[in-house]
Structure 1
Amino acid sequence: MTTATQAGGRWLAGTVQRLSRLARPRGPEALPVVFDRRRVYVLPTPFGLFFFVLLATMGVGALNYNNNPALLLCLLLAGTAMASLLGAHLQLSALAVHAAGAEPVAAGRPLQLRVHVRADPRRQRRGLRVESGAAAARLSLDQGAGEAVLELPTVDRGWYDLERIRISTTRPLGLARAWAWVWPEAPLLVYPAPEAHGPPLPEGAGDNAQARLHPAGDDVHHLRAWRRGDSRRAIAWKPSARRDALLVREYEQPQGADVVLDWRQLGPLPWEDRIRRLARWVDEAERDQRRYRLVLPSQPALGPASGTQHRHACLRALALLPAGPAHG
């Protein structure tokens, strides 16, 4: 039994691999996509192959010995098996993939691909599994809607080449596997991995100096209500006594003008090392709430600005820089 099951599994895997080259779709497609009968494929599982061999053996024995009860049982089991093929097909029929996307991440971190699926809530869908490459996740539908999250490994910066996504099930009896492919036309971006260690963020230059709140600043900016975790040294006792409530001093610390992150000022660093250093400085500038300007070769400067949108624009520009020479 074990040998037959393993051989059947190898045959099934090879057959699925050969069929996948001819299966729909053969290229990226716009979403939403609804699975119809032409997109759903069904093949027996290794257990299903063993079950069919067992039924064939039982049927031959029943006919040979003219055993009508055994023949009736064999036919009933065969009918149940055929019904399970139809049931597996119906698990995926009319299933709709509405959206697929992921937030950009730094190279080396897993990309969280979210696949949103909808179906008729009147029909229960069980045992659904979503796969892309080596990543896999289970999919559960609640009121006809569900989401699966796939962790896709990343290596290089730039656009991520998304493979086809397979949605499959072995329900209701595990005798057959039904599956369908979808290839979302979803642009997934991978940011450059920031430099692990390096020089600090360059100081700003110019007349556009700013000040930012800092607990160890020089000048008192304003008073605010006490919050859990505030230092006792920052409490303004006299104003607190007058207002009968704890007040805390907020300080401000002078901060340099807009930071300029210039590609040309990175000296003899290799091409990719420059990209990683600039990516690190962009993150540091955002963390310190600094306004910064990114200057890259052969394209307009970005900024000065700050915030999530500006950070995304800068990291996107760094991620999409063409591959350069080893040095320069």
Structure 2
Amino acid sequence: MTLLPRTLLPRTLTQPITQALARWFAKRAPKSDSATLNLRNVYIFFRREGLLFAILLIITFIAGINYGNNLVLGLCFYLISIWLISFHVTFLHISGLHVQLLEVTMAEVGAPVWVTLQVRSESRQPRRQLMFRFEQHQLDQQENSEHEYKRNSKRSRKLLNNDPKLQVLLPRVQDEHIIRLPIMTYKRGQLELPKLTVSTVYPLGIMRAWSYIYFARTAWVYPKPLAFDWQTQYITASLDDLPTSGQYSQHIQGQDDFERLDSYVEGESLARVSWAHVARGQGMLTKHFADPIGHEQSLNYADMPAAHHEQKLAQLAHGAITLGSLGVPFTMQLPNESRTESAIGHDEAFAQACLLRLAQSS
């Protein structure tokens, strides 16, 4: 939060002050996945509407002194008492709150990362009108060039921070609440969570109490899947020919699908004997079953048709998601990895593990 009006002062003057304040706030709140709001990390100041209230106090006090009017001075002292009570109540509604980070999801570029938080209050009195939001403009500043930032940062910050979809308002907090907040993503790789702002203006909207929380955990962003032609030089089957459930060409011994009848061999289980054939006088025959297995597919970074590194990773992400949804066994080979490090999997959980490898790829 900046206490200086950006519309009146040039950015060359406000930027150093804003950066100094940001460093000071960060120093008072070390990174951690859980935080308790207290005197050290809770701040309180007038809102814009509250500044008008402060001007009213000054005007009534000067008028009462200047004209020697006790009624005006009494009104001034009455308004001051209201301000002091509002100051105290606003601070109490945020002080002592416990916030803990529970989960951070993985997302593709351009999609939001969802952060799950536990908000706990041990006070007997409920806390009201608590606002939770991440400072989305920090990410926007990092991803834009200096020229674009000067031109668009003010408008983008205002839109992001005022977007109701990117913030959560809890009207009443008592005991424990679970909330989920999104963080917009702009590039692949490791994402450092921006600072979380917890604020309230209850009860009168004159004062605003807020606190910044800096989480130690990070999130991972994998490439946005890029569709490509499945060709035989880099995969053993085309997308249209990929085997689906029940359409595999190889089988292993199992108990799912009937495969053939063979002559009974002494020592085999009588449960597998086809007694219908015995009843018809055709001898003792044993039923054999098989479980289908799929063709192992190979996703290799070197075989991707794209020319650029990030596009190759995006094509690998598309292949991993597609094969994982089909349940086809596959491996994924990334640069600087040996073949022994490439495990074989066949489900969506393995596809998610592959997406994490893509997000962590250098």
Note whether the superposition's TM-score is higher than 0.5. Answer: yes
* Structure-2 separation of matches of 1:51 and 1:8: 21
Distance 1:71 1:94, change over 3 A: same
After superposition, residues 150-161 of structure 1 pair within 5 angstroms as 150-161=181-192
- Structure 1 position 178, deviation (Å): 0.7
In the alignment, residue 321 of structure 1 is paired with which amino acid? S
Aligned identity (percent) is: 24
Separation in 1 of the partners of 2:53 and 2:121? 31
Does structure 1 residue 279 correspond to structure 2 residue 317? yes
CA RMSD of aligned residues (A): 3.3
Judge conservation of contact 2:257–2:291 (CA < 8 Å) in 1: no
- Does residue 164 (structure 1) correspond to residue 166 (structure 2)? The answer is no
Q: CA 1:291–1:7 in structure 2 vs 1: closer, same or farther (change >3 Å)?
A: closer
Q: Note the alpha carbon deviations across 1:229-270, whole angstroms, 9 max, x for none.
A: xxxxxxxxxxxxxxxxxxxxxxx9977411111223336732
Aligned to 2:147: none
* Structure whose alpha-carbon radius of gyration is higher: 2
Instruction: Name the residue aligned to 1:257.
Output: 295
1:66 deviates by 2.5
Per the TM alignment, residue 17 of structure 1 is displaced from its structure 2 partner at its CA by 7.0
List per-residue Cα deviations over 1:136-185 (Å, max 9, x = no partner): 41332554222343322212111112211111111111111111110011
Amino acid at match of 2:313: I
Write the mapping of 1:304-319 to structure 2, written as runs, cut at 5 A.
Answer: 304-319=344-359
Of the candidates 231, 235, 244, which is equivalent to residue 202 of structure 1? Answer: 235
* Aligned match of 1:288: 326
Structure 1's consecutive aligned runs of 4 or more residues displaced over 4 angstroms after TM superposition are 6-11, 14-18, 24-28, 252-256
Structure 1 stretch displaced more, 153-162 or 139-148:
139-148
Point out the structure with the larger helix share: 2
> Structure 1 291/27 Cα, relative in aligned 2: closer, same or farther at 3 Å?
farther
Query: How many pairs align?
Result: 278
Unpaired runs of 5+ in structure 2? 137-160, 248-255, 259-289
**In the aligned structure 2, how far is the partner of 1:8 from the partner of 1:182?**
24
Q: Distance between the aligned counterparts of 1:105 and 1:154, measured in 2?
A: 8
C-alpha deviations, 1:286-311, integer Å up to 9, x for none?
11111111112222433211224322
Q: In the alignment, which residue of structure 2 is the partner of 1:49? A: 51
Aligned counterpart, 2:167:
137
Secondary structure (helix, strand or coil) at the match of 1:319 reads helix
Give the partner amino acid of 1:139.
L
Distance in 2, Cα, partners of 1:170 & 1:35: 16
Determine which of 212, 232, 254 is the counterpart of 2:245: 212
Question: What residue is the counterpart of 1:298 in the other structure?
Answer: 336
The residue matched to 1:203 in structure 2 has which SS?
Answer: coil
Look up the SS of the partner of 1:282 in the other structure: helix
CA separation of 1:47/1:76 partners in 2, compared to 1, >3 Å: closer, same or farther? same
Partner SS state of residue 86, structure 2: helix
- Contact 2:191 / 2:218 at 8 angstroms: preserved in 1? yes
Mapping 1:93-104, distance limit 5 Å: 93-104=95-106
Q: Which residue of 2 aligns with 1:61?
A: 63
Unpaired stretches in structure 1, ≥5 consecutive residues: 1-5, 215-219, 223-251, 323-328
Q: Name which of 161, 170, 177 aligns with 1:146.
A: 177
Q: What TM-score, normalized by structure 2, do the two folds share?
A: 0.68
Instruction: Report if aligned partners of 1:116, 1:147 keep a CA contact under 8 Å in 2.
Output: yes
Using the alignment, how far apart are the partners of 1:139 and 1:25 within structure 2?
A: 27
Query: Offset of 1:64 from its aligned partner?
Result: 2.5
Structure 1's 100 and 321: CA in aligned 2 closer, same or farther, altered over 3 A? same
Residue among 174, 193, 198 paired with 2:224: 193
Change (3 A) 1:26 1:293: farther
